[in-house]
Chain A
Amino acid sequence: GAVVSQHPSRVICKSGTSVKIECRSLDFQATTMFWYRQFPKQSLMLMATSNEGSKATYEQGVEKDKFLINHASLTLSTLTVTSAHPEDSSFYICSARSDRANEQFFGPGTRLTVL
């Protein structure tokens, strides 16, 4: 149990385009999901906290208009990178916190490359 999926696993896009990444909790409900970004050989940096049915809470320095988060159901959160640029290239990882326990389960990550 406690499986989190992400789609796509890898995406390459041109500068200026928008990319949507989906995060799904497959066998549990998650009122809260988190989005992290990880650069090579670095730790996970929290970008935003996503709550079902309400606006996301963004960490300091994260542009909310650039990284749009929607949490439309108890099992799905999406991150849209708008007008992507090469500096947005990174590994994006979501996690979902089980409503039944204070445990976070991570997705497999999405590798975004902006040309």
Chain B
Amino acid sequence: QQQVKQSPQSLIVQKGGIPIINCAYENTAFDYFPWYQQFPGKGPALLIAIRPDVSEKKEGRFTISFNKSAKQFSLHIMDSQPGDSATYFCAANQAGTALIFGKGTTLSVSS
């Protein structure tokens, strides 16, 4: 499988902080880059996704920044809340193929 490298492995921020999670990919044919949020014992839930024709996408408090030349994309969570504490996975794929996931980032937002 083509790799998607995610960092950091874990992240602790205070309430109101802006955690940033980064991902890098190798396959230039990838054309879909979603982020998933997963709570313990639950399946992943789609949070936000971007395609390579735009450099940034915002949905509520979540923003994806995309750098095509560097083959990197990141998730920013504005005004983070304790309820945002979860594991976040970046992923990527080419149309018609399975998603390849990063290893995940465990986010803890302290109140």
Chain A residues in the interface with B (C-beta under 8 A): 4, 6, 32, 34, 41-44, 46, 49, 59, 91, 93, 95, 102-109, 111
Contacts and interface: CB of A to CB of B under 8 A. Distances in A.
Contacts of B96: 32, 102
A41 B45 CA distance: 17
Interface of B: 1, 32, 34, 36, 41-46, 49, 89, 93, 95-96, 98-104, 106
Given A43-B104, A102-B32, A104-B99, 18 more contacts: A42-B104, A43-B89, A43-B101, A43-B103, A44-B44, A46-B1, A49-B98, A59-B1, A93-B44, A95-B99, A102-B95, A103-B46, A103-B49, A104-B34, A104-B46, A108-B42, A109-B43, A111-B41
Contacts of A34: 98-99
16 contacts: A6-B43, A34-B98, A43-B89, A43-B103, A43-B104, A46-B1, A91-B41, A93-B43, A93-B44, A102-B32, A102-B96, A103-B49, A106-B44, A106-B46, A107-B43, A108-B43
